[in-house]
Amino acid sequence: MELKGPLCYVLDYDDIANYAYQTAKKIKDSEWRPDAIVGIARGGWVHARIQCDLLGVKELFSVKVSHWGVTATKDGKAKLTCPLVGDIEGKKVLVVDDITDTGESLTMAVEHIEETGKPKEVRTATLMHIAGSKFVPDYYGVEVTWAWEIWPWNFYEDLTALIMKIFEGEDIKELTTPQLKKHLREYNNIVLSDEQLSKVKAHMGYLEKIEYPQDKVWKLK
């Protein structure tokens, strides 16, 4: 069945732990040991902290690269919105993100870190690498073909955006939960439990995207 929207995969923290461990194993096998880790905000923060634990690194810093795009789109331009703060001069630095995707975030972050931080060496690591990305990290847990990965730290943000796209695509203002389940499968190949959808619904109500509580319907504000 051809999807009406982009293919999406919902990941959980077990997936993240597995991919992070595989990434760390490759780093250890290469016999390279970073002195500091720089996580790319927002997506790379969780992975960066996990790598600190797996690699025994105490020095953790951050840069922020924002994408002016929307959920599940391949475009969207990257912009450095928070520069590096911290002393990495002369250190071996591992720059960490969640996924390569277009590769713009990692490219921009590495260039900025090399120019301003004066590290001894910079290498990169991601949980996932999308085949065909312009940027290939030095280490990654798994290589995949393009799909929109819904990270556990991005779950409510992404589901809200995807559900709003369904309302727009179907040109409707009200859905029952069974109808929404059907559309999520048709648009994005997403299958969620009633409990998950209930939490998403409460979140969208909190954001004032839909009227809440509505026991049986999802109704746009």
Which residue pairs, CB below 8 angstroms and at least 24 apart, start in 195-199?
199/156
Q: Band of the pLDDT at 100, cuts 50, 70, 90?
A: very high
> For the whole model, what pTM was predicted?
0.92
Q: Band of the pLDDT at 198, cuts 50, 70, 90?
A: very high
Q: Which domains does the chain have, with CATH numbers?
A: 13-147 (3.40.50.2020), 155-219 (1.10.10)
Model confidence at 1: pLDDT above 80: no
| High-pLDDT (> 70) share of the chain, % | 96
Rounded Cα gap, residues 170 and 165, in angstroms: 8
The reported pLDDT for the residue numbered 6 is 96
Model confidence at 71: pLDDT above 70: no
The reported pLDDT for the residue numbered 85 is 83
Model confidence at 123: pLDDT above 60: yes
Q: Band of the pLDDT at 86, cuts 50, 70, 90?
A: confident
Question: Within 171-206, where are the H helices?
Answer: 177-188, 194-206
CB-based contact 43:93 (threshold 8 Å):
no
Classify 39 as helix, strand or coil. Answer: strand
The reported pLDDT for the residue numbered 68 is 59
Rounded Cα gap, residues 139 and 16, in angstroms: 15
Rounded Cα gap, residues 127 and 123, in angstroms: 14
Average pLDDT over residues 112-119: 95
Task: Give one DSSP letter per residue of 34-53, joined into a string.
Answer: -SEEEEEETTTHHHHHHHHH
Model confidence at 75: pLDDT above 70: no
